[in-house]
């Protein structure tokens, strides 16, 4: 059981997904979770009634009782929030940011020397507690606090500690990854419909096939290559399908999709931080 007190600065959809997972997991008492925003009392009331967590407007928050602050507001507000927090935080308190594109170094430069910062990146499956979440500690983050943050994030899925310079490729794989699977499903449905099958059945068949393959890969020791070879008989139907994928550049397209998304993630981070600096 996590005994720390955490406070969400922001109460949007990602924050709610995390709150829901944390409360359902039972890893942290609901009374140890505080949710704040600047002025939307109605939103806070909704979250309080739905999850039983404490809610308070940001100006009424007792900063001294909080161990970890989860930054879950809009990225454009980061400078104002950091300026407000800078002289209210102690070295033992931690900022955990779920803000896309904001690096730990950007935050550390705007806080007091030695302030603990952790950057995390959940994906949209967090709403189902099936997220693939990356966590990257800043320069001053204490490992005990990193482990607490990791345990909190396990309530919404699997957590992977990575170096921050790998965050963009993680985004290209896990952040954009759900869309790749939806794209694949679109074409499965389209092809099946052309052969006379109904959309609802096709969706269930395709989703179950993807789910089963994913579970097989997670639960077996074989590599993806070995698993593929195990289900591919020479001159069989799977071999014919894979050959068609190769001829159409399927593997190359997947690689380029990940590289493209990772490259855009890096560009967006630079653009966002550039805009924030330029707006001063």
Is there a binding annotation on residue 52? no
Rounded Cα distance between 207 and 237, Å, is: 20
11 among annotated binding-site residues: yes
Confirm whether residue 73 is marked as ligand binding. Answer: yes
149 is annotated as contributing to ligand binding = no
**75: annotated binding-site residue?**
yes
- 167 labelled ligand-binding: no
* Residue 213 is assigned to a ligand binding site: no
Instruction: Tell me: is residue 13 an annotated ligand-binding position.
Output: yes
- Chain centroid offset of residue 38 CA: 24
Q: Confirm or deny that 105 is annotated as ligand binding.
A: no
Q: Is 234 known to sit in a ligand binding site?
A: no
Annotated binding-site residue numbers for NADP(+): 9-14, 72-75
Which residues are documented as binding site? Answer: 9-14, 72-75
């Amino acid at each position: 059981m996590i005994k720390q007190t955490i406070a969400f600065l922001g109460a949007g959809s990602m924050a709610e997904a995390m709150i829901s997972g944390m409360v359902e997991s039972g890893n942290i008492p609901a009374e140890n979770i505080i949710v704040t925003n600047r002025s939307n009392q109605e939103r806070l009331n909704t979250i309080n009634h739905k999850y039983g967590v404490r809610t308070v407007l940001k100006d009424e928050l007792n900063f001294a009782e909080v161990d970890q602050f989860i930054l879950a507001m809009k990225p454009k507000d980061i400078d104002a929030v950091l300026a407000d927090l800078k002289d209210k935080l102690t070295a033992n308190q931690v900022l955990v940011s779920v803000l896309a594109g904001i690096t730990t170094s950007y935050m550390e430069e705007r806080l007091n020397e030695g302030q603990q910062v952790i950057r995390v990146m959940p994906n949209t499956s967090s709403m189902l507690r099936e997220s693939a979440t990356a966590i990257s500690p800043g320069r001053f983050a204490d490992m005990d606090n990193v482990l607490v943050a990791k345990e909190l994030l396990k309530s919404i899925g699997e957590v992977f500690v990575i170096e921050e310079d790998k965050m963009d490729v993680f985004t290209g794989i896990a952040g954009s990854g759900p869309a790749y699977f939806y794209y694949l499903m679109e074409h499965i449905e389209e092809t099946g419909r052309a052969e006379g099958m109904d959309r609802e059945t096709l969706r269930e068949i395709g989703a179950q096939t993807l789910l089963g393959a994913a579970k097989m890969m997670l639960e077996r020791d074989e590599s993806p290559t070995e698993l593929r070879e195990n289900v591919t008989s020479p001159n069989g139907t799977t071999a014919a399908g894979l050959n068609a994928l190769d001829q159409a550049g399927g593997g190359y397209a997947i690689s380029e999709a990940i590289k493209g998304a990772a490259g855009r993630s890096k560009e967006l981070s630079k653009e966002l931080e550039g805009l924030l600096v330029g707006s001063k």
